Each structure stands twice: as C-alpha cells, then as structure tokens.
Structure 1
Amino acid sequence: MSDLFKGVTLERAIDRKATADGRPRVDGAVETGVSAWELRVFGSLTALHAGRSLPLGPLRHRALLGLLLVRMGNVVAAGQLVDELWSGRPPRRPIATLQTYVSHLRRALASGGEQGGVRARVRHSSPGYVLEIDPELVDVHRFETLVDRGRQDLAERRFHSARDELSQALALWRGDPYLELTSYGPIADENERLEQLRLTAVETRAGACLAIGEADSVVTALYPEVQRNPTRERCVGHLMSGLYLLGRQAESLRLYEQTRRHLADELGVDPGAELQGVHADILHQRLPLTEPPASGGSCVITDRGADLCGPGPEAAAPRSAAAVPGPDDPPTAVPERPFRPPQPAARTRDTTGTRLLPGGARTRGVLVGRDRELAVLGDHVLDALDGGSHLTAVLGEMGVGKTELVEELAVRLHELLQEVVWGRCTSGEGVPAYWVWAQVFRQLAVSRPEAFRKAEARFGSLLAPLMLDPESGRRSLGGEDPSARARFLTQDAMCETLLSLAAEDPLVVVLEDLDQADESSLELLALLRTRLHCEPLSVVVTADDTGAAADLMGGGAVAEALGDSRTRSVRLTGLSRRETGDLVSAQTLVEVPDEVLRLLHERSRGNPYVLHQFIAEVGDPGLLCDRAVVENALADIPVGVRQALCRRLAPLPGPVLDVLRCCSALGGAFEVALVREVLGGSSTDVEVAIEAATRRGLLRRAAQPPFLLSFRDELVQEVLLGELSGSDRARLRESVVRALAQRPAALHAEYEPGRERARRTPRRHSTPGDAKGACGPTSVPPHPA
C-alpha cells in the first residue's frame, strides 16, 4: 500500500532567508528582548504575546477589533460601529455596551504589554474610536509589504528576489483572513480584497518562477488556483506557459480550449488579448522546450499585455502574454507528473499548504484520528481500481467527518496522478433526475473531452438527461419518455459511458450524501454495480446510515446498496478523548486542560463538527483554559448544531416525533410502557414509533431487562424539549405525573432523576422562537386517553 495512505502530510518548505538585495525579513513577529507581540489576521483573529494567546473575548468583541483593524489608524464613529456590530438590531443601550466592549479590548491588549509597553491601544477620538498599533505587528501588513516588494522586484527584473519575497508572503497566509468574522460587511469586503491580493501574489510569483526556469513549480502552484478561478486569465496563461515549457503542449492547448469554452458559456466573452497571445505562441512553437537556465532567461508576465523575455533587461517585448526566450537558452526539465485539467470537484492544496475542498473552497480543518480509516479506505479504492469490482461506502452520523476523510483520500489519489470526479446528492423540489450523476458526467466532459465526445456519438440522445440547457435550466433532450424501457436504456448508456472512460484511464467517482439521492440516481448505481467486472473504476459513496433521511428518502435502495455483499464499508464513529484533545490542539494551538477536554468530549461525543461548533461558541481560543467559560458555552447548543439536528428530525412522521417529544420530557432512562401511558395511544402504534426512532439511531434500548429506553445523544433530547412551548411542556409533565401516580411508589424514584434532568435541560436559542416548531408540528395530547 502506498505511503500516501499512512497519514503522511506532504507540505512544501519555503525558504525564509533574507532577500537577495539585503533588505530585512518581515515574515515574523516583531521581537523585543525575549518577548514577541503579534496580531494575526490570517485564520482566526488572534493576538499573541510571547507565544500566548491574549483573551480577546467573545465573537462580537473580536468583531469590534476587526472593524477597527480594517481602518487601522483611522477614527471610526461610534454610531457606525454600532450599526456594523448589530446590523440594525442594537441592544437597549448600544453606546454603553460598545464602551464595555472597548474596555475589555483595552484590558486584553494591555495584558501583553508587560515588557516593552503596550503594543496596541484602542483610543477614544471624537466621534468614535481608533486603533493605534505598529503596522509591523500585524501579519496582514507584512503580507502586503512583501507582495509590494515582490512586484517591484519583478518589474526591476530581480526574479530570484521576487520569488523569495512572494514565497514569504504566501507563507503568512495561514487561512482566510478574519475567518470567523466575515458575516460583518466591512470585514467581508476586506477578506475579498486580500483574496484578490493573494491571487496577484500567486500570479506574480509564477511569473518570477517562469523567468528563472522553474516551470515545474509554476504548474504545481497554479493548478489548484486555476481549478478555483477558471476565469483568472493571467493564471491560466502562466499555467499554459509552464506546461508548454515542460514539454506538455497538448495539455496546455487543452487548458486553453477549456478556458475559452468556460468564458463563452458563463460570460459570453472570448479570452483577452493576453491569453490569446499565449495560445498563439504555443501554437507556433515560439517557446522552445529548453532546460531551465542558470540565471534568468525565460518569459514572465509582469503587467497586462507586457512581457519580459530573454536573458537580459534589454529584451522587453510587449507583444503577447508569453515571450520568446533567447535561442541559446538550454531545454527545460522533463515533468515529474502529468497535468490533469481543472476539475471543479477535485481537491488539492494551494501554494501555502491550505486544503481545498471539492469545488475549490478552502478550509482550515485538519484530519485527526482517522489514519486507520484512511488506510483502509485507500486499500479499498486501490483494490477497486485493480479490478476488485466493488462499491466502497463511508458511513457515519452527521458531522462525524465522512466528507473530510474522502477529501483527504482525493488529495492522496491526486498525488498518485489518479483522477477523482465528485458529485453531491441533493434532495428537495426541483432537483432533476440523475442530478448527482449529471455532476460527474459534466466534469468528465471537461477533463476528457475527446473520449466523452466519442461516447456521446455512440449513444446520442440517451445521455441527454444528464446535460441541462444552460439557458433554460431544463433538460435539453430525452427524459420525456417515462416508460421503464426508456429509463433502462438511458441508465445502460450511462453505465457503458463510465466503463468505457474508465477502460481508457482509471477513474474514481465519489458520490456524497447517498441517503439524499433521487430514485433515478439510485437505480443507475444499482445497475452499475452489476456491471463492475474487473474494470478500473472505483465508486466511493458517503451516507448517514443512522439519520432519518436514510429510511425516508432512500426507499430501500440505499440500504440495498450499502448491504450488498460486494460493498466494502468504512464506518466512522466519534473521536476518542485523546483524539478530541489532538483535534482541539490542532484547531486552536492552545494547550487545553484535561478537565476541559473531558467536558468538550462528553458534550460533543467526539463528533468533530459538533466539537468545532462548541469551540466557536467559546470565542477566543485562549478562553478554553477557563473551565467556567467553557461550561457556560457548553450549556447552550450552537445554532449550527441545532439547525442540523432539526433538519435530521424534520422528515420524521408525526407519531415518531410525538414519541420522541414525550421521551425528551421523561429524560434519563424510561420504560416503553410509561411512554405508552403518557401518550395514551395504542400499544402497537407506540411500539412501531419507538422501533422507527431506534432504527434511525435516535433512541437506544438497554440490553438487559427491563430494557429501558434512552436517547443516544443528549443534544437531540435538548433540541426536542427546547422546541416545545411552555404549555406543551407543562401538559406533558402533567401526563407523566398522572402515569406515575398509577404505579407503585417504589418506582417513582426511578424516574425522578430523569425528570429533574429534563427540567435542567438548557433551552436557550439565538433568538426567541428560533427553534420552536423547527422539527415539525407539535402534537401533545392534554391528557392520556
């Protein structure tokens, strides 16, 4: 098995030496004796002193600092800050609240100034406040300084210096700036501005690398950028030049054609003159395949429509986006790996090592505690590519990390030069048939245009249901004939197309959220499973096998696919306590006390998504060391978790929801008979509802008599109880009292702890009534029948 599936992270080390012209480095915190003070914007907004995170406070406190920081040195009116902080819904005394926030920030920033004085101050200056700070203490300022220097170096033809400066700048990009604050308008605008500056830095660095013959570095760095920004023509032009200089002319031309089609389809325009110039140079062989020169001597784009070519500063020719090097330049090196055209669903890493999700979004997430599962999944996929003829399923509850695991798999496969195409199932009205497969086929039409055209010519209109008319949004052809024979012929054509494409070049297909797939997509998967006979095709699916949607929307086909003898499953459960600690450390860079880790693990049950949401509720990572702060944050359910649980509960039938609401009022562990007595329904109906809730992973039954029931996840119980109105809750408890009154007194104490726990269950929401009725209509009988 390849080492790529043993949890080894491949990162690129960037040289951080002083620049070639002797200018000082600006890539670290400013030093004062043995202490260092730094304000970090990339990733979460964090203030550091001597390696310790300063307690900036909850989210809105940090938002205030962010709003002042984006106008660093300028006065921001108090009224404007109130509007931006509370989005038109201020507290009762907004100015007094704002002053409290300012006081907290002053104390927090001053706590890092024991040596060398206070480094940052929030000062009152009528009519508002101003943040006073040395810009060199802010990582985003150092980033901009390095980018400006790199661009200047490039303009002055100091290519090595430009490459080094821009590499240092990109190394500072630890994650999206102000990551947790982009819901605030001015900060979102600043986030977008910095992203555009990052792209400029990536393009400029690529130009410098081309100039010194590092075409392989250009291809490696620009591949993910072109994936995410297919209309960024300068990126495309540099990537085309790099590919050509590496001897990969066909891939370079294919990339141009793909970009031209994308611009025409999405924007109705042709490529600009600069990109057309690159295309013309490659077509006419104007960029000879040469070895990288010892110093200088290739082409680089420094401004729109301008080239710097050849070995000397006198060779500037504003003719096209790629220029002709001197005839004596030696040939380039042979590439180490072929280029895969940009695939919207494939994931890789950018030049800073930041992970890219399918579709191009970046994430700061890390994969912890899944080395064994990744190794097993990798084995299953490679076996299938070797002709294993099986389906691979990644199973687990919401938020347990199925997507992250498969994304990591896609990265490792990409490093093995293996193409991965991606589709996500979506439920709801208006979703066309075969939607997840349509996503897969459209990506293949882009990455393998010639092979796909052959398949289209072979099967004609049978593939039409996969291709929507981009103008009308309707299926262009086919799909009108509802007969079973027509459906089968369409599915047969799709299967044969996939198998023929895989026969030409091995293929991995990922289908996410199979439990939400439409019936036609599931039928196609079932047919494809019968056709897998030693073909180099691996199909990987993810599914929530414990959620309500699996039974309600799958119609049995999901269970059939997952239960097939040729399906190999990788099941994810919650992280262990140790792994939870590792994940918290990786996300926050804070050493959290064991007692706090215990609280976080017990409350989240080791679910990475839930854990991340609770950490976000705490706010400043430094506050994770304060048990009282953490306990207060854990008392509530984060809005994202509450909404996710409500989405899981919403499709449940009314009788099942009624039983679950009754159980939430009972709390603890309880007998089936007591539930039946409280609700007053028939024994059969209550048993059926309880069995349905148990099968969907919401309730569990004790293995020993009297087989008491309890919730698998206390968060589900709290959501159900919290959505009940006060009157419904009172009626339920009255029914419980009535039922208990008919039982021997010795049994009352058995249920008392459960009822007490239900009374203590937190029921706060982000705003009044947010969760009320979110899980479906409430139907609570006033009295048992």
Structure 2
Amino acid sequence: MSDVFTGMTPERTSGEKETGSIPPWELRVFGSLTALHAGRSLPLGPLRHRALLGLLLVRLGNVVATGQLVDELWAGRPPRRPIATLQTYVSHLRRALASGGEQGRAEARVRHRSPGYVLEIDPELVDVHRFETLVDRGRRDLTHQRFRSARDELTRALALWRGDPYLELTSYGPIADENERLEQLRLTAVETRAGACLAIGEADSVVTTLYPEVQRNPTRERCVGHLMSGLYLLGRQAESLRLYEQTRRHLAEELGVDPGAELQRVHSDILNQRLPVSEPPLSAGSCVTTDRSAAPASPPPAETPANPPEPAPAPSADVPTPLPERRLRRPRRPVFGGGTVDRSGSRTLRPPRGARSRGALVGRDRELAVLGGHVLDALEGGSHLTAVLGELGVGKTELVQELARGLQELLQEVVWGRCTAGEGVPAYWVWAQIFRQLAVSRPEAFRKAEARFGSLLAPLILTPESGLRTVNSDAPSARARFLTQDAMCETLLSLAADDPLVVVLEDLDQADESSLELLGLLRTRLHCEPLSIVVTADDTAVAADFMGGNAVAEALGDSRTRSVRLGGLSPWDTRELVAGHTAADVPDDVLGLLHGRSRGNPYFLHQFIAAVGDPGLLGDRTAVQNALADVPLGVRQALGRRLAGLPGPVLDVLRCCSTLGSAFAFDLVDDVMGARTDVESAIGTATRCGLLRRAAQPPFLLSFHDELVQEVLLGELSGCDRARLRESVARALGQRRAAPHGEQEQRRDRVRRTTRLLAAPGTPNSARVPAPAPPHSA
C-alpha cells in the first residue's frame, strides 16, 4: 500500500513528535520480520528463530510461558530436548539483537522471567506500534473534524505498510491471528482516510484508492459507501448505483443479509441527489492516469476544528480522474504502464498506484505494455484472444492481475475464471465462474439472456440468489452440447455489446474439454464485439500434448491469437526483486548465485531466498551456497506438477537420463532402457516439451534444459532404483566396448538417424545449444 501514498506526506510542525520517522534501530514486521541497525539487517537466524521473536513480539511486554512457546514453535512435534533447543534459540536472538546496539547495548532484550520469556523494547522502535499510534491519532482527528490532519496522519500510517505483517511466519497460529488483526486495522485506516478525503473534496483520490480495496473486500460496507460517494461526487451516479447493486447481491448470496443502515443511507442520498456533484473534468473519451513522475502538490494549510468541510477543489491534471462513462475508449497509440499522451491528447492506461507495494511485478514493464495494447485493441474489435505463456512461477498471473488493476481503476469490468483439472470437476467449470460473476454485476442483462435461452444455460449457475447448480448425470448429445455452447456464446456477445468486457481464463492447460470447445466456438463468432479474452497457459507443450489435447494447441496456435511470452528476469531485475523482498544489501556475487540457480524465475527466487532463512545471511556467500545446494520443497512441487502430465514411459526415460550426468549420448540411454521402451519417441517428446536439448556439434550429446528438473527427477528415485540404474549403465558401457566392429557401426548409424529426427523442424532448441563435455560417451 505504501506507493499509494508516496509523496503525499506533509512536513510536521517543529514541536510535534516524529512518530512517523524512522529510528536508527528498528524492528520491522511489515513484510518479513527484520531488525535493522543504521539500515543494515541484523542476522536473526533461520525461520524458527524469527518465529520465536515473532511470538514474543505479538505479546510485547508480557511473559510467555516456556511450555506455550514449545507448543507454538513445534506444533505438538517438539525435538527430543525442546527446552534446551529453546534456550539455544534465545541465546542466538540475544546475540543478534545485541549486535546492533550502541556500544554493545541491546535495544531489544529477551529476558527470562518465570515461567518463561519476555521481550523488552521501546515500542517506538517497532514499526507496527508506530502504525497503530498514527491510526489512532488519525481517527481521533476525524472525530474532532480535523480532516486534513486526519488524512495526513493516516497517510503516514499506511506508508509504513510495506507488505503483509510477519509475511513468512503466518503458519504459526498466534502470528496468523496478529496478521489478520493488523489487516483489519489497515482496512479501517483506509476507510477513515477516505472519509477525511471526502470531507475536503478529494473524491478522485478516494476512487483511486478504494476501488482495488472493494474488489478484494466486497463485504466492507463502509469502504463501499465511501467509494459510492466518491463516484457520485465525480459525476458518475450510474456507476455508483451499480456498485450498490453488486454489493447488495453479494451480501445476500454469501451471508444472507441486506446492506446495513449506513450503506442504505448513502444509497438513498445518491438516489435523492443530496450530495453535491462536481463537473467531470475531462471528456468521456479520455483514458486518464496519474503520472508518478509528477511532483506532488504542496501540503494544504492547517485547519482548526471550527472550520467547516471545504468544497471540492478544482481538478488538476496531476490527479487521477476515472472515466465519466463506463465504456472504454482505446487511445490511438495504446501504451499500458506509462504516463504517455497519444497524438489525440488522450492519456493512456496504466496500473493503479500502489500496485508495486502489493507485490511483485518487477521487470515486466514491456510485457505489460504489450499486453495492455492487445487488450485495448480487442475492445475496439481487433484480435480478441491474447495468450500469456511461460513456465510455472514465471509471473503470468501477476502480470494479468496488474493489467486487471489498471483496467479496474478505469472501472472497466474484468471477470476472472480459473481452470481446474481433476475428477468431479463439472463441464464448463471455468465458464460457470465467469457467468456467475456476470449474473451479479449485470443482473438485468443476465436475466434477459436467461429468459431468452432458458434450459440451454442449465450447465451454468443461473440462480445466484440460491447458489444452486443442477447437475445432469446423462451425457448430452452432440447437438444438445452445441446448442448449449451457442447459447453461452450469444449471452457473452450480448453482454459485451451492452458494455465492453474483459474475460480472463487462468491455467487454460487445465481446462476441461467442454470449456475448450466453448472457447473454440466463441473465437469463430468474434468479429467486432468489444470483448477481450486473456488466457494464461504453460508453454512447455506438456499441457498442449497431454492435458488439453489438440484444443489447447489449436487455440494458442491460431494466427489470430496474440501471445505474450514470459521468460526469466534479467540479473538487474533479480537485484530489484531481491532488494524489495529482503531490504538487505546483497553482494553482486550472491545475486549472481541466486539468479543462476533460479534462472530468473520469480517464484523459484522467492523459494531459494526463503531457504537461506535470515535475510542477513544473504551477505554470506558460503551460507547462500549451502542453502542453494538443495531444491526447496516449493520448487520440487512446482516442477513435479509440470512433469506429472507426461506419459509413464517418458518419465521412465527421463529418470534414467537424470543419473547420467550433465550430458549423455542417446545410444547409451537406449542401451540402458532396453528394447522394452521406445526411447526414440520418449526423447523426442521430452525435447518438444523443452525438458531435454541436443548439442549442435558432434557427438550431439543430450542434456537437461534445466538442472533443477534433473535434480527433482533424481530425487524421486530410491536408493535401490539409483543403484539398479547405475548397474545397467555400467553393463551397457561394458557391452559396447566388447561389441564387434560391425555392431558398433550399426549403432552409430542408428544414432545419426535418430539425431536427424530430433533435429527436424519444429523441435525446440535443436540447433542452438553448445555441446557440453561428454561424461558418458561411447
């Protein structure tokens, strides 16, 4: 959330206490739990050491019993000597905290006090305490109608929120409870600040800030009410009333309740036009954004409690003003992610302020600009399907979420569905998610479609009031299935014709056959409708070949489909991501190790950083090398899911290859596996899937494209399996040496023939890989 409020904090008066200032020694809980001295991270140790500090910190100043700490640290499965181990942890924390104090004096102390331990520290040195203090002051100022002061205090408070508190420690019960409490307090601060901004006429800031919050927390009625008021004050009454209808339906469906009296009162005031409306500052055809490089406005003068609420100020070009109408207009030169102006003078789309603080989108500005341009073009009737491709963990979902936040800031509707594979998943499941959202956001239009097509839409959830789904156990005929898909297409096209629509289908490679058939039919029906479909999928070809059949390959390979392919981050972007995640000063050689091991995959990079433990250890090359020697559990699981779609014979061949070192000859694999396995076909499949690659120079050795895949496959083998395979390798090598000359020539001919097949057009990486040194060659 901090980026939302960057540059908005005015100077404090000289006599006022600097609660929002950063002390030289600080304990941070927003993001990862970190102790800082003069900007340097202190070595708090592995995860469980920091968990001990977190458990004491959430009860700051109170004694926590030794037995309670043991239960919470080890969740009922303590080590053989838990008390001694706990004392070791305490000793380590004491040394770590003392290392940052002045002249050896610890700013934070872990003291033994019967029957347990207590953490003693000046609360002003803990960022969460300063956050709570500023929130309390802001709420008090609002109560006394000091609106500008309330806004400023709450802006400072929210600027401290660098990420979810105790980010890596939420698996511990008490810390998870504290995390949830602080999140509710943050939402309260956001709502209170919005109330203060409305009182001084800053409706545009309210809309910009609250729209993503309402998307994530649709039951926060005060947040919804402030957003409705902000929309109305900007002259967008229809959107405000639509938001109320969406919230009312959501509360009825999820909780079975009506909106509270406060939200109903806001709704009534808008209907009766009891709020002053300011003139829209720009025409309906402009796409407006905030230029982050623009200098912030100077702070307003202080006000006294006697001052009445001020009228809305005149809009400024530096203040984000969303569209007065819902229909999106595409700029002539679509740029997403920048603050440029097109030739007609219209501003272009960009993600909302504060997106960086939530996360994680680093090094994707170019891809975001391209993806945004494709979507805007589709909404003007261009190519309607855009595929975001890349391996698992590379950031496909984060990129599309960033796009959706930018569109939603302009109140362009984005509906989202996630494909799910497995037994029991009903047909059209991802589309059922899409239609369920549309039934809530566009109730009148959806009811008309339901009345038009009737039972043909039965596979979808058509009664959001009851949440019921009718499951027909009888397999429909081909004609019935086509009529159902036709009705779904007509409904989507009709809704898009009324109002532009962006549909996101996540993990298309996991979609059921019926959902893919519907997508294929919809693609043939799209011409000039303002409908954009964005899909994400694994680009390893595993999904296209073995999970979704030809339908996935057909959709992604169509000439009208545009694609955005994500690769690993560059070393520079890796540096930025590590700095944002750890707030630690990491040497270049360690960054090189992290980047090389993760290949710039953001998810893998986070997993390896977590394996290191304390961010302070990232400065120790030896500690990092030791941590990177193993493959973290999260990476193993991700790569395991990627491999799970392969046929059994292909997996068997790959497991054999994993024991042969960094490079190996095809005929050696063939000899080890024997005649019972079609090695040539399996190697070809693995090469098409990007798992293996062939060297461009003789002797055309094979190697794994990713050493992590090789390590995961090798780790799946038991000790007996490894020994058996090594015996087979030794036996095959011995037989090859003893074979007559004629058999050796036949084997070489077969290897050359197979090599030509593997190097055929369409095989990835067939001619671009340098030849590695051959550890196992004939």
The TM tier, using the shorter chain, reads 0.7 to 0.9
Q: Deviations over 1:84-109 (max 9, x none)?
A: 11111111221111111111111111
SS at 2:380 equivalent: helix
1:543-591 deviation per Cα after TM superposition (whole angstroms, max 9, x unaligned): 1020533322111111111111111222222223333233323332333
Equivalent in the alignment of 1:213? 201
Q: Paired residue for 1:64, among 47, 52, 77? A: 52
**1:506-535 CA distance string (max 9 Å, x none):** 322221111111111111111111122232
**Partners of 1:135 and 1:340 in 2: CA distance:** 48
Greater relative CO (CA pairs within 8 A, separation 6+): 2
2:745 alignment counterpart: none
Deviation at 1:264, TM superposition (A): 1.3
Structure 2 residue identity aligned to 1:92: R
Amino acid in structure 2 at the alignment position of 1:80: Q
- Count how many residue pairs are aligned between Structure 1 and Structure 2: 691
Cα displacement (A) at 1:116:
8.7
Q: In the alignment, which residue of structure 1 is the partner of 2:447?
A: 453
Q: Secondary structure at the match of 1:286?
A: coil
Are 1:134 and 2:135 counterparts?
no
> Counterpart of 2:354 in structure 1: which amino acid?
G
Q: CA RMSD in A?
A: 3.0
- Higher deviation after alignment, 699-708 or 566-575: 699-708
Report deviation, 1:186.
Answer: 0.5
Cross-structure match for 1:643:
637
Instruction: State the match for 2:354 in structure 1.
Output: 353
Residue 39 (structure 1) shift: 0.7
Aligned to 2:598: 604
Match in the other structure for 2:480: 486
Structure-2 separation of matches of 1:553 and 1:469: 31
Aligned to 2:321: 336
* Per-residue deviation, residues 384-442 of structure 1 (Å, max 9, x unmatched): 22322342211111112222222222233345553322221111122121121222222
- Residues 336-361 of structure 1 show CA distances to partners (whole Å, capped at 9, x for unaligned) of 324899xxxxx999998256xxxxxx
Q: 2:72 aligns with which of 84, 89, 94?
A: 84
TM-score (normalised: structure 2):
0.83
Q: Structure 1 residues 69-78 or 701-710, which shifts more?
A: 701-710
Q: CA deviation at 1:665?
A: 1.5
Deviations 1:652-678 (A, max 9, x none): 222122111111122221122212221
- Partners of 1:143 and 1:637 lie apart in 2 by 38
The corresponding residue for 1:255 is 243
Q: Aligned AA for 2:255? A: L
Q: Check the 8 A contact 2:419/2:506 in 1, yes or no.
A: yes
Q: Map of 1:251-290 to 2, 5 A cutoff?
A: 251-289=239-277
Cα distance change, pair 373–212 in 1 and its aligned pair in 2 (3 A): closer
After superposition, the Cα gap between the structure-2 partners of 1:388 and 1:274, relative to the gap in structure 1 and judged at 3 Å, is: closer
How big is the shift at 1:461?
Answer: 2.8
What's the CA shift for 1:642? Answer: 0.9
The change in CA–CA distance for 1:400 and 1:190 in structure 2 (over 3 A counts) is same
- Aligned position for 2:332: none
- Which letter maps to 1:554? G
Q: Are positions 1:148 and 2:136 aligned together?
A: yes
Measure, in 2, the Cα distance between the counterparts of 1:571 and 1:580: 18
Q: How does 1:677-696 map to 2 (within 5 A)?
A: 677-682=671-676, 685-696=678-689
Contact 2:430 2:511 in 1 (8 A): yes
* Residue 512 of structure 2 corresponds to residue 518 of structure 1: yes
Distance 1:116 1:137, change over 3 A: farther
Alpha-carbon separation, structure 2, partners of 1:735 and 1:718: 20
Partner secondary structure for residue 556 of structure 1: helix
Aligned to 2:119, the other structure's residue is in SS state strand
Given the alignment, which residue of 577, 580, 600 partners 2:574? 580
Shift of 1:622: 2.1
Task: Measure, in 2, the Cα distance between the counterparts of 1:469 and 1:445.
Answer: 8
2:545 aligned to 547, 551, 555, which one? 551
**What secondary structure is seen at the aligned counterpart in 1 of 2:166?**
coil
Matches for 1:385-400 after TM superposition, within 5 Å? 385-400=379-394
1:374 to partner: Cα distance: 2.4
Mapped to 2, the partners of 1:451 and 1:474 lie a distance apart of 20
Identity %: 80
- Comparing 171-180 with 525-534, greater Cα deviation is found at 525-534
Going from structure 1 to structure 2, the CA distance change for 1:380 and 1:284 (only over 3 Å counts) comes to closer
Q: 2:392 corresponds to which letter in structure 1? A: M
Q: Structure 1 length normalisation: TM-score?
A: 0.82
In structure 1, what is the equivalent of residue 534 of structure 2? 540
Structure 2: stretches of 5+ with no match in the other structure:
281-302, 327-336, 338-348, 740-778
User: Do the aligned residues in 1 keep the contact of 2:569 with 2:601 (CA within 8 Å)?
Assistant: yes
State the alpha-carbon separation in 2 of the partners of residues 24 and 642 from structure 1: 50
1:295 counterpart residue number: none
Superposition deviation, residue 706 in structure 1: 3.0
Alignment match of 1:367 (pick from 362, 375, 378): 362
Alpha-carbon contact 1:291-1:333 (below 8 Å) kept: no
1:718 counterpart (694, 711, 718): 711
Q: 2:215 aligns with which of 223, 227, 239?
A: 227
* Paired amino acid for 2:509: D
Aligned counterparts of 1:288 and 1:680: Cα–Cα separation in 2: 82
- Aligned position for 2:697: 704
Q: What is the deviation of 1:503?
A: 2.6
- Give secondary structure in 2 for the equivalent of 1:744: helix
| Deviation (angstroms), 1:745 | 9.0
2:22 is aligned with 1:29: yes
Counterpart of 1:632, as a letter, is N
For residue 249 of structure 1, report the CA deviation from its aligned partner: 2.8
Greater Cα shift, 611-620 or 700-709: 700-709
The answer to whether the Cα contact below 8 Å between 1:469 and 1:476 also exists between their aligned partners in 2 is no
Where structure 1 has 5 or more consecutive residues not aligned to the other structure, the ranges are 1-8, 31-35, 293-310, 316-324, 342-346, 356-361, 747-785
> What amino acid does structure 1 have at the position aligned with 2:227?
L
Tell me which residue corresponds to 1:444.
Answer: 438
- What letter corresponds to residue 528 of structure 2 in structure 1? C
Give the distance between the partners of 2:700 and 2:467, measured in 1 at CA: 53
Q: Relative to structure 1, is the Cα distance of residues 226 and 742 closer, same or farther in structure 2, using a 3 angstrom cutoff?
A: same
- The CA deviation at 1:216 is 2.5
CA contact (8 A) 2:541 2:688 kept: no
* Partner Cα separation in structure 2 for residue 290 and residue 406 of structure 1: 34
Partner of 2:293: none
**For the structure 1 residues 711 and 613, does the alpha-carbon distance in structure 2 shift closer, same or farther, using more than 3 Å as the test?**
same
CA distance in 2, matches of 1:332, 1:242: 14
Q: Following the alignment from structure 1 to structure 2, what is the Cα–Cα distance between the partners of residues 185 and 253?
A: 40
Residue 163 of structure 1 aligns to which amino acid in structure 2?
A: R
Letter of the 1:192 partner, please give it. Answer: E
The 10-residue stretch of structure 1 (525-534 or 494-503) with the greater mean CA deviation from structure 2: 494-503
Which stretch shifts more, 661-670 or 244-253? 244-253
Q: Distance in 2 between matches of 1:447 and 1:703?
A: 55
Aligned to 1:175: 163
Q: Select which of 665, 675, 688 maps to 1:671.
A: 665
Q: 665-674 vs 383-392, which deviates more?
A: 383-392
Measured against aligned partners, the alpha-carbon deviations of 1:172-216 in whole angstroms (never above 9, x if no partner) come to: 111111011000000000001111111111122222222222233
DSSP-derived class of the 2:321 partner: coil
